[in-house]
Structure 1
Amino acid sequence: MKVLKFGGSSVANAENIQKVAAIVMSNSEQQVVVVSALGGVTDALIKAGTLAEQTDETYKDVLKELEKKHLDTARALLPVTHQSSCLSMIKQQFNELEEICNSVFYLKELSLRTRDRIISFGELLSSKIITAFLQSKHVDVEWLDSRKLIKTNSSFGFAAVNFETTNQLIITTIQALDKNIFLAPGFISSDNNNNTTTLGRGGSDYTAAIYASSLNAASLEIWTDVSGMMTADPRWVPNAKPIERISYQEAMELSHFGAKVVYPPTIQPVRQKNIPTWVKNTFAPNDAGTVIDSITQHDGDIVTGISSINAIAVLSLEGSGMIGIPGFSKRLFEALASANINVVLITQSSSEHSICVAVNTSDAIKAKEVVDSTFEVEIAQAKVEPLKVETEHSVIALVGDKMKSHPGISGRMFDALGRNGINVRAIAQGSSERNISAVIAHADIKKAVNVLHEAFFENVYKQLNIFILGVGNVGGKLLGQVLQQQAFLQEHLNLQVRVTGIANSRKMLFADNGHDIDLKQWKEELSEQGEPMQLSKFVETIIQKNFRNSVLVDVTANEDVAKVYEQLLSKAVSVVACNKIAASASYTHYSELKSLAKEYNALFLFETNVGAGLPVIGTLNDLRRSGDVVTKIQAVLSGTLNFVFNNYDATRPFAEVVKQAQDEGYTEPDPRLDLGGTDVMRKILILAREAGEQLEMEDITNNGFLPEECFKGSVDDFYKAMLKHEDHFKKLYKAAASENCKLKFVAEFINSPEGKTANVGLKHIPADSDFYHLYGKDNIVLFYTQRYPEQPLVVKGAGAGADVTASGVFADIIRVARV
């Protein structure tokens, strides 16, 4: 003997019922088949009853639609010669149902007892239709009335089963009937007065478990629309994996914490009789599914699954008058129990100053009323504060029998949540260590499930979601590099880099669900599908999407963009900045961004602020982390200026060389930022700060070389002014050449006992200098430290250009993933 249960999705319509019949008929063993109502019927019946209670006559329309649904299903399933009696039964049932709803309409009252009677029609109708269909296929099947076999108390809506009486009735009935297949409605039962009761939403699973336990069945099969239990909800986690085997205890924990595949009370009856329970897929019957049995130390992952409960309210009872006084917890839980409020999670501080419990949000108002009433005297005496209620929360749980033998699981859990900016409101862990639960904001639940699934199950890869602001020259090269390296990163670093948002100054585009931005056609997608660019909306969308491991990549020189870093870092979104404005703003702001990144477990990286793709800041940080102290930094930090002075020999106008640099993509949009020294000042300021000094821009001396007139007006005016002052530039060149020197724009930071100074300016560089043989757009940085006092540590290479700058940004993106 085995018991099969088919849920609402399995019997949703005639087509699905035919699949159910095929599964039933393929079994040669004696079997009891338990079925739910047709898909959506129970909710519709509840709606009809509620409308009738509210004297809304549209309940009749609901009933008519339901009647039509059942009649159409019967006609689709049954040959014409078998339809008459079934259609007559359906008509009769709906006449009775309409009379009950009419009574509710006139009385304006829907008691729990009447509600149970109304919703019982769903299972009664579906089970009789399916029985008639099997009989039309010449299957010798007997319909069982579960109301006559499963006896309960009179707790309508969620009745408690009298197992002693129920077991005897089921055994006696089955033994008296010489049949191979029995078909029974799930969910419904009756009390000692033969009033219809129900076993709670999802009770058809429970019904099947009751039959299986009573009959000592060889197995229980729960047929649904998924191929077994999963490591997480596959609607939220695309990479959720099927669980091959799970213990009764683990299944109970997962089902209690929101895994809807199995109704929680189902497990206990089969566990007592050690009956293996299979979760199978009606629509893929050959899939292995999940077996639930008594084996606790099964092979597989340490964590078996991740589940969650939504619509949770956190109740906090606090007060100094609670400390050292016994009985507060008892009174709190008695108050909640008296109002039939189920407690999902409990935690109490060791100081006894507060008790925190989680309940369903629907019970929150009632909970506050009964608890404040219970502690009315203490509240009046200011010994206890009124109950604090916080809604919009969820509970997330890690479940696994093997967790108790592996230390550090909770640490990994909370580290993963913390690194993604998910705040934990309350924590609970049972003494069995089979479950670790945390209360978090409901807005973070989907992200949290994905984060934990990645941490405990997805050894294949880590996903990084990047949003790129600025897809011009450098940004475009970056997208090309990401496209080129995606497969390599996934294969060799287990890293999936996903571009989920891009924007230029005109338009912005985001990846929608199930569709990433096509990096081969991003220009076309941005142009054709992008919406008007609004920086505030771009930032809000990043926060609203709330993807795990999110990164803003700023490839602009825009001050407004730099101002949004603070908002994103405080939401645990890392920032990779090519834009120098933030790191070279006031030291207070720079320090605040660093602090925010640390506080919210995000990263603020800006390697390309100084040397494009060169590892300048990274090298400096490594020196400091290893305990070295920087005493001096000397550098040529402008690829633009180096290019200009390497190519200017007074034989063609200085302005022409500058224009060439701009055309080849080496300058800022306004070349005066480079030639005026502002860009170099920002760079040496950033290096000084990264070396540990609290410098401001005004602390840096700028020995500029451009005539004052060059700074007036537009960029076009700038070029005209340079042409006008060509003699000035020739004089600079010839002065250096007369000394057999080259012109280089040098930045210097000195950390000495006499003080800390920084300056930038044009210098004559002799042939024996490290700066002399610096060609094209190359940069060079000399680090003098306590470990490198005479011969400096040198970082040298291309310091400008879209490709190398993009590669530096890309390297920072990968650093975010490696943390």
Structure 2
Amino acid sequence: MKILKFGGTSVGSAENINKVISILEQQSKDTNIAVVVSAVGGITDKLLEAANLACNKDLEYKQTYNAIWSQHSKVIEGLFENSDHDKNLKKSHEALYDLISEKLNELKSLLDGIYLINELSPKTKDKLLSFGEALSSTIIYHTLKSRQVDVAYKNAQELIVTDSNFNNAIVNFEITNINIQLYFNSNSNAIVLLPGFVSKSVHGEITTLGRGGSDYTAAIIAAAIDADELQIWTDVSGMYTTNPKLVKQAAPIVELSYQEAVELSHFGAKVLYPPTVMPVLKKKIPIVIKNTLDPEALGTTITENTQPNGSPVKGISNIENIALLTLQGNGMVGVPGFGKRLFETLAQEKINIVLITQSSSEHSICFGISDNDAKRAKEVIDTVFEYEIQLLKIDPIIVETDLSIIAVIGDKMKNHQGISGKMFSTLGKNNVNIRAIAQGASERNISAIIHKNDVKKALNSLHEQFFEIKTKQINLFITGVGNVGERLIEQIHQQKSYLKENFKISLKIAGLSNSRTMVVNDDGINLKHWKQQLENGEKASLKGFLNHVKKLNLRNSVFVDITANDAVANIYGDYLKHSISVVACNKIACSGNIEYYNELKILSRQYNAAFLFETNVGAGLPVIDTLNHLVTSGDKINTIQAVLSGSLNFIFNNFNAETTFYDVVKQAQEEGYTEPDPRIDLSGIDVARKVLILARESGHALELSDLESDNFLTNDAMEAASVEDFFKTLIKDETYYQSLFKSAEDKNCQLKFVAEFNNGKAKVGLQEIPEGHPFYNLKGKDNIVMFYTQRYPEQPMIIKGAGAGADVTASGLFADIIRIANN
């Protein structure tokens, strides 16, 4: 015989009850079954709400009662929607409606009585709550009968006998087991339907079995008759590897041991009520958790022994709304009795302890309880230890709220080294601060208390570590989506599948911002329609964007700056302090005040968040990465020589005696090689910033003011009031610019704007490069960097290639993102 229990969602609507009936008809073909049902979904809460309103003399209880009436009426109408065309069905419909009306009138009288006497005792509360299961089981029974199903109805109150501990009665198994056995031995119906949760005391008073009581009812019956199987039908396909509402990659667990199921249930997996396991555990009866809405799904089977699988960790669970209380003081050390007094006090107040940890010094005891009990616990503990507190032997109890417990669970964990190391290193990498740790002697679970805001990130990070095929998700927040930003988004969209398939890297753009609007989405932004989403986003704000990123608190978050904005550069530190990596195309942070540059480097190490800026020099060329590898491996940079401006290289490669300097600069501006104001490029300030960054990365503390700059522009050009006036000076001073070209040509040289760093000093300026020099044949917008080091003293290490352009700059940013993903 099998016992099936259906929860509130399973019987929450006519549609779902019809699915339940289909399951019962199918399963009863093979064996007799007993079916335990919960109240219709949401009714138990409504019953409590109505009772509390009535007790508080609030006439709104009548509205809640009407909602209860309406909900049951809707279910009945849905189950008998075709009764007008069938005389027998109509008769059954009317009879059921009258029966439910009678029960609901009893409920109304009880609520009216609570209102009149202004009191809700535990005994009355149990009587009130029993209506939920009585109503649902009556509806389902009469529906089954109307469809000619071989079914019997048995009120569980006639079988399950308890003490008089109302609201959470303790079962008298000696009497209860005999009652159940006698009934089922004499019953021959294919299906027996029973209400869950309800029972009666030895004195005949209505009692209830507490939270999860319907599960418990089913387990009691299963154990009493040695059932072949206990099935718990709910609205999910079993117990999951973690909370599927917080972790989308969570999956049903096929097999669990009884102990693993109890641990997962204790630590927040609400599919199964922990005491349910106890009656069937002794009898070794399998528990199967199934989905009413998807009955073909495999579900979770809970047995004594499970088959070994790939991971020793079976699940990750969490409990919300936890307070951490700490009793501490030097007067506790070596003095017996503190623990006894502490826990006796909590027991007397009926305050349940969820987690305990004590330091080996005996200086403190930490324990986790429900947030709702924290204030009361502090009051009673401070009162009990008032004498010791006055003598300064111990401190007043310390209370921390807004916490949650996360627990990694699995029977086989004790046989595997490194589980706790993986758990805590994963949390640490994601800046999840741990307030307390507990591990049982069985090593079946490792629990940690963390802030409630970190739960989603912690569960996702741990799930990725223990259950996913080593796929690392990177969450990107990009500000600045102009030409380069657009190309970066295109590249990410193009490469997403390739990276996931070949490198187990999953890239998700979770936020975009430009100077006008911003959009942030936890589920990721649709890269086919990102422009429309951004256009319809909220008003852009640097602080607002940062706050969105912090609030989402996603693992492996990366802020990508593709602007040239001072204000954006000045906010990097705020991201790094929240363990959010920074990838910067913007050169301002690394070439500005050296104190800020050093601060960002320190924050990056302190908060384990990358700070990468490869595109600051050479766009997509691996200049900084190569330099860092040289320095890290112990090499010393002696000299750097470089052509670092694609725009200036383009200009001087196209300038000759047959062209005018004005025409070439104008062409460079129109084709996007220079800034809208070409003086920014021609002044050499951009090149100066680049060589300054290389000098700093080489270990030299230089400021921009320390650089020597040989400006080849005329004073009139630099002092022009507008870009238009600047171009006029180029026409006026053409003879001067031609003289620069003629001087180089006469020496068989090429004009190149060169950056140099040597012996701790740096300079930039226009140089005449002789034939045969590596810079001589540099074409187009190419950059070139030569490193002379201790290991490369005569023949330098040379990096050469396109140093400007939206595509190569975007690819450099992309490379930095992949470096973070591979870390």
Shorter-chain TM range is: over 0.9
What is the distance in 2 between the residues matched to 1:676 and 1:632? 23
1:46 alignment partner in structure 2: 48
What is the distance in 2 between the residues matched to 1:761 and 1:310? 63
Change (3 A) 1:631 1:98: same
1:580 alignment partner in structure 2: 587
The superposition leaves residues 395-437 of structure 1 with CA deviations (integer Å, 9 ceiling, x where unpaired) of 1111112222221112212222222222222222212221111
Identity between Structure 1 and Structure 2 (%): 54
2:19 alignment partner in structure 1: 19
2:3 alignment partner in structure 1: 3
Change (3 A) 1:730 1:48: same
1:172 alignment partner in structure 2: 182
Change (3 A) 1:778 1:428: same
2:362 to 306, 331, 352: 352
Q: CA deviation at 1:75?
A: 4.1
Q: Which moved more, 1:549-558 or 1:720-729?
A: 720-729
Q: Which moved more, 1:668-677 or 1:35-44?
A: 668-677
Equivalence map 1:616-695=2 (5 Å):
616-695=623-702
The superposition leaves residues 551-604 of structure 1 with CA deviations (integer Å, 9 ceiling, x where unpaired) of 111111011111121111111111110000111122221111122222222111
Q: Which amino acid aligns with 1:777?
A: K
- 1:148 equivalenced with 2:158 (yes/no): yes
Q: Which amino acid aligns with 1:274?
A: K
1:741 alignment partner in structure 2: 749
2:608 to 597, 601, 615: 601
What is the distance in 2 between the residues matched to 1:489 and 1:322? 56
The superposition leaves residues 78-102 of structure 1 with CA deviations (integer Å, 9 ceiling, x where unpaired) of 5221134433322222222222222
The superposition leaves residues 606-642 of structure 1 with CA deviations (integer Å, 9 ceiling, x where unpaired) of 0000110000011011112222222222211111222
2:557 alignment partner in structure 1: 550
Q: CA deviation at 1:154?
A: 2.7
1:778 alignment partner in structure 2: 782
1:725 to 709, 728, 733: 733
1:592 to 595, 599, 608: 599
Contact 1:418 1:600 in 2 (8 A): no
The superposition leaves residues 662-697 of structure 1 with CA deviations (integer Å, 9 ceiling, x where unpaired) of 332223454333221221121111111211222222
Q: CA deviation at 1:512?
A: 5.8
1:434 alignment partner in structure 2: 444
Q: CA deviation at 1:342?
A: 1.2
What is the distance in 1 between the residues matched to 2:390 and 2:725? 76
Change (3 A) 1:152 1:617: same
Q: CA deviation at 1:275?
A: 0.3
Change (3 A) 1:553 1:269: same
Question: SS of 1:582's equivalent?
Answer: helix
* TM norm structure 1: 0.96
1:255 to 265, 277, 280: 265
Q: CA deviation at 1:650?
A: 4.2
The superposition leaves residues 683-712 of structure 1 with CA deviations (integer Å, 9 ceiling, x where unpaired) of 111111211222222222222222333333
Contact 2:492 2:507 in 1 (8 A): yes
What is the distance in 1 between the residues matched to 2:442 and 2:473? 33
Equivalence map 1:336-735=2 (5 Å):
336-459=346-469, 461-511=471-521, 513=523, 516-527=524-535, 529-712=536-719, 713-735=721-743
2:84 alignment partner in structure 1: none
Q: CA deviation at 1:12?
A: 0.4
Q: Which amino acid aligns with 2:574?
A: Q
- 1:764 equivalenced with 2:771 (yes/no): no
Q: CA deviation at 1:368?
A: 1.0
Contact 1:316 1:356 in 2 (8 A): yes
Question: SS of 2:735's equivalent?
Answer: helix
Equivalence map 1:58-207=2 (5 Å):
58-78=60-80, 79-207=89-217
1:238 alignment partner in structure 2: 248
Question: SS of 2:161's equivalent?
Answer: coil
What is the distance in 1 between the residues matched to 2:158 and 2:171? 13
What is the distance in 2 between the residues matched to 1:670 and 1:54? 74
- 1:215 equivalenced with 2:219 (yes/no): no
Question: SS of 1:760's equivalent?
Answer: strand
Question: SS of 2:588's equivalent?
Answer: coil
Q: Which amino acid aligns with 2:620?
A: G
Q: CA deviation at 1:63?
A: 1.3
The superposition leaves residues 143-198 of structure 1 with CA deviations (integer Å, 9 ceiling, x where unpaired) of 22222322223332222222222212211222233433211111112222222222
2:812 alignment partner in structure 1: 808
What is the distance in 2 between the residues matched to 1:177 and 1:507? 70
Contact 2:522 2:552 in 1 (8 A): no
Question: SS of 1:548's equivalent?
Answer: coil
Question: SS of 1:356's equivalent?
Answer: strand
* TM norm structure 2: 0.95
Contact 2:255 2:306 in 1 (8 A): no
- 1:794 equivalenced with 2:798 (yes/no): yes
1:324 to 330, 334, 337: 334
What is the distance in 2 between the residues matched to 1:312 and 1:210? 31
Q: Which moved more, 1:17-26 or 1:455-464?
A: 455-464
Question: SS of 1:759's equivalent?
Answer: strand
What is the distance in 1 between the residues matched to 2:597 and 2:611? 10
Question: SS of 2:589's equivalent?
Answer: coil
Q: Which amino acid aligns with 1:636?
A: V
Question: SS of 2:617's equivalent?
Answer: helix
Q: CA deviation at 1:534?
A: 2.0
Change (3 A) 1:431 1:726: farther
Change (3 A) 1:625 1:155: farther
- Unaligned runs of at least 5 residues, structure 1: none
The superposition leaves residues 232-264 of structure 1 with CA deviations (integer Å, 9 ceiling, x where unpaired) of 222222222221111111111111111111111
Change (3 A) 1:120 1:715: farther
Contact 1:277 1:291 in 2 (8 A): yes
Contact 2:39 2:133 in 1 (8 A): yes
Q: Which amino acid aligns with 2:505?
A: L
Q: CA deviation at 1:103?
A: 2.2
What is the distance in 1 between the residues matched to 2:819 and 2:48? 54
